Amino acid sequence: MKTWIEKRDCGKSPYVKILDKKFAGIPQGCKMLVSSPQEIDSLVRRIPEGDTISPAKIRETLAKKHKADATCPVSTGIFLRIVCEAALEEKRQGKTLKEITPFWQIDLEGTSTAEKLNISRDEMLSLRQQNQ
């Protein structure tokens, strides 16, 4: 079984597809980006210290970058979990908070992704407060 780090660093490239039918609230005919764990990891690493970003803003930013109408919310949720879990894995391996992706800057409050993470809500908020 692959580690979260291996899943993040899989080397898959983002791509844009034209939807032949409505998907996840995105209308038929729209150009939809399917990003990658590495691209999302890179974006999260560029968030200014102390700031937060929502999954919706991540999708909007990536769609604009790729000249797409939208970014797939399903794969984005999966990739956000991969990015967060890979950073937690690196932290458990002894890396400092400065060396890992600042996943605590992603505002996952109330999302299904937050419920699946191997970190509690309180721990996440504590990391956010420590790094403001």
Q: Is 35 left (phi over 0), alpha (psi -120 to 50) or beta?
A: beta
* Span 77-120, pLDDT tens digits: 999 999 999 999 999 999 999 999 999 999 998 899 989 999 98
Question: The tokens 């996952």 sit on which residue?
Answer: 108
List the one residue out of 51, 46, 119, 116 whose CA is nearest residue 79: 116
pTM for the full predicted model: 0.93
Domain ranges of the chain: 4-130
